[in-house]
Amino acid sequence: MAKMVDVQKYAKRLKGRLLELNERLEDIEQDLDEPVNPDAEERATEREGDEVLENLGNAGLVEIKKIQAALARIDKGTFGVCVSCEEPISNERLEVLPHAARCRHCT
């Protein structure tokens, strides 16, 4: 019998990561909402900081989307199957990247 992908294990990890990302994004939003400093020089520094935060936020959002897609595949029963070639994604790959949608050949 072929070794089955332990979907529940990955579901747990994906959900944990999702919570973590959501919390981090909330923190970022709070930081971005802080009142603007009246001092011009300080303001420039803060703007740079805001950009860094925004980039972090965007990276987080991209990861959240991928995780949600992976959770949807779990619901549909297609988790661990490459969305391109429909071959199984290796456990080694899922171990590193549980939200992987494609096998390493199709990435």
* CB-neighbour burial class of residue 88 (10 A; exposed 0-12, middle 13-18, buried 19+): middle
Cβ proximity to Zn ion, 14 vs 103, nearer residue: 103
Q: Which residues bind Zn ion (CB under 5 A)?
A: 82, 84-85, 103, 106
Q: How far is the CB of 105 from Zn ion (least distance, A)?
A: 5
Q: How far is the CB of 92 from Zn ion (least distance, A)?
A: 14
Cβ proximity to Zn ion, 37 vs 107, nearer residue: 107
Cβ proximity to Zn ion, 70 vs 82, nearer residue: 82
Tell me if 66 sits within 8 A of 77, measured CB to CB: no
Q: How far is the CB of 85 from Zn ion (least distance, A)?
A: 3
